[in-house]
Amino acid sequence: MPEQNIRVELRTSPHIKSAASVPQIMRNVVYALLPLAAFSVWQFGLSALALIVTVVLACIGTERLSNHLAGRESTLGDWSATITGLLLALTLPPGFPLWMAAVAGFVAIALGKALFGGLGFNVFNPALVGRAFVQAAFPVAITTWTPAGAHGRFLEFIPSTLAFPFTVPPSVKEWSAQVAVDAFSGATPLGAWKYGGVETAHLDLFTGMTAGSTGETSALLVLLCGGYLIARRMMDWRIPAAMIGSAFLLSAIFYLVDASRFPDPFFMIFSGGLMLGALFMASDMVASPVTPAGVWIYGGLMGVLTVVIRLFGALPEGVMYAILLGNAASPLIEQFTQPRIYGARKGKEGAQ
């Protein structure tokens, strides 16, 4: 009987694959972020629109440049650079100078993604890498807030938007008076509580009628957009549930201990970027663990860190640092939460 060459192909488990490809999942994430972008434009006008376009174009351009320098085929078709641009823009103040926004987009892709080898290899969420860089490089601009719903917001830019590089932008407070804003506060709800002891009404936080970063103000809209991805099974719901739940539980404990010193848990979860971070950044498929126990520990850790930083840190917000620290801890969490092999004894390798 003649010999036959039999080719056996071995692959690592799991062998069951989702019908959705990476570009399809990424494209749906873009769909989920578009309502947040549209709401931010409605709230803050032309400046928000220019900010989003600038950051997205900077991310796409840097992605294309990094592919060219590395000699790789273009990866723009996987939509990951677009997502990074949208997420980064939504974490920035609406009046953030456009040249700084372009720098943030460049850093997010170049240092947060391309430096590690591209999509699938990044250790940290690229959008938050860009955000962390401009937080350190431009601390005044990154903490200058604009009131929502200013008259004439669709007819003119916030003055700081078009500031020239390395110049002092015009005063946003003076501009607010000129466009007849009824009430202007130079702080977000978290800042008003942190430095003034003033809590914003829950309804305003939930619907988004407050100052804040471009896309983080409406907890309701963020939940609806994230719910779309969860319903389509394109997001691990356990991570945002663990992060929001642990933040709620820990802040409730502090509130019960001393209600005069600490804010109530609903204020804690509805304010700032907790909802946006938990649903769209903490759930990053690349930077998060995949083990059943690991995702709960990972999300819970970030929720606890957010509350601790907000309550006891120098800055009013802690979501960005909590997620980046969670990203750093993700490999360790995954290593210590590996499920035991069926038939193996605890602490022993291999099946018995």
pLDDT for residue 171: 61
Question: In this model, does residue 176 exceed pLDDT 60?
Answer: no
Summarize pLDDT for 58-73 with one digit per residue, the tens: 999 999 999 888 888 8
Number of structural domains in the chain: 2
Same domain membership, residue 169 and residue 218 = no
> Please, what is the Cα angle at 62 between 302 and 329, to 5 degrees?
20
pLDDT mean over 318-322: 93
Same domain membership, residue 226 and residue 164 = no
Choose between 351 and 263: higher pLDDT. 263
Question: In this model, does residue 180 exceed pLDDT 60?
Answer: no
Beta strands in 102-163 (DSSP E): none
pLDDT for residue 182: 44
Question: In this model, does residue 161 exceed pLDDT 80?
Answer: yes
Choose between 160 and 277: higher pLDDT. 277
Please report which confidence band the pLDDT of residue 184 belongs to, taking 50, 70 and 90 as the band edges.
very low
Contact 334, 285 (CB under 8 A): no
Same domain membership, residue 31 and residue 179 = yes
Question: In this model, does residue 350 exceed pLDDT 50?
Answer: no
Contact 324, 132 (CB under 8 A): yes
Question: In this model, does residue 342 exceed pLDDT 80?
Answer: no
Same domain membership, residue 127 and residue 52 = yes
Same domain membership, residue 278 and residue 228 = yes
Same domain membership, residue 155 and residue 32 = yes
Same domain membership, residue 136 and residue 203 = no
Contact 35, 48 (CB under 8 A): no
Tell me how far CA of residue 146 lies from CA of 42, 133, 188, in angstroms.
13, 21, 9
pLDDT mean over 201-224: 88
pLDDT for residue 74: 81
One-character DSSP codes across 212-271:
-STTTS-HHHHHHHHHHHHHTT-S-THHHHHHHHHHHHHHHHHHHH-TTTS--HHHHHHS
Same domain membership, residue 40 and residue 179 = yes
Q: How many CB atoms lie within 10 A of CB 47?
A: 27
Summarize pLDDT for 185-202 with one digit per residue, the tens: 456 888 888 888 888 888
| Final residue of a structural domain among 184, 207, 234 | 184
Same domain membership, residue 100 and residue 47 = yes
Within a domain: 351: no
Please report which confidence band the pLDDT of residue 315 belongs to, taking 50, 70 and 90 as the band edges.
confident
| Final residue of a structural domain among 184, 210, 244 | 184
Closest CA to 190 of 320, 42, 97: 320
Helix (H, G, I), strand (E, B) or coil at 340: coil
Q: How many CB atoms lie within 10 A of CB 30?
A: 16
Within a domain: 6: no
- Axis-axis angle for helices 46-70, 22-44 (nearest 10): 150
Question: In this model, does residue 183 exceed pLDDT 70?
Answer: no
Same domain membership, residue 250 and residue 124 = no
| HSE-CB for 206 with a 13 A CA cutoff | 4
End-to-end distance of the chain based on CA atoms, in angstroms? 39
Within a domain: 117: yes
pLDDT for residue 186: 52
> Please, what is the Cα angle at 240 between 236 and 243, to 5 degrees?
140
Contact 146, 47 (CB under 8 A): yes
pLDDT for residue 11: 54
Q: How far apart are CA 304 and CA 334, in angstroms?
A: 19
Residue with tokens 């604009």: 146
Q: How far apart are CA 286 and CA 22, in angstroms?
A: 12
Within a domain: 278: yes
Question: In this model, does residue 352 exceed pLDDT 80?
Answer: no
| 158: DSSP letter | -
pLDDT for residue 172: 60
Q: Is 13 left (phi over 0), alpha (psi -120 to 50) or beta?
A: beta
Same domain membership, residue 292 and residue 162 = no
Summarize pLDDT for 240-277 with one digit per residue, the tens: 999 999 999 999 999 999 998 999 999 999 998 999 99
Within a domain: 349: no
| Final residue of a structural domain among 184, 212, 244 | 184
Same domain membership, residue 203 and residue 164 = no
pLDDT for residue 169: 66
Give the range of the structural domain holding residue 324, as residue numbers without chain letter.
198-337
Within a domain: 344: no
Within a domain: 192: no
pLDDT mean over 309-327: 92
Structure tokens at 85: 């641009």
pLDDT for residue 185: 47
Q: How far apart are CA 109 and CA 85, in angstroms?
A: 9
Contact 312, 280 (CB under 8 A): no
Enumerate helices (H) and strands (E) in the chain, giving the number of each: 14, 0
Within a domain: 11: no
Please report which confidence band the pLDDT of residue 344 belongs to, taking 50, 70 and 90 as the band edges.
low
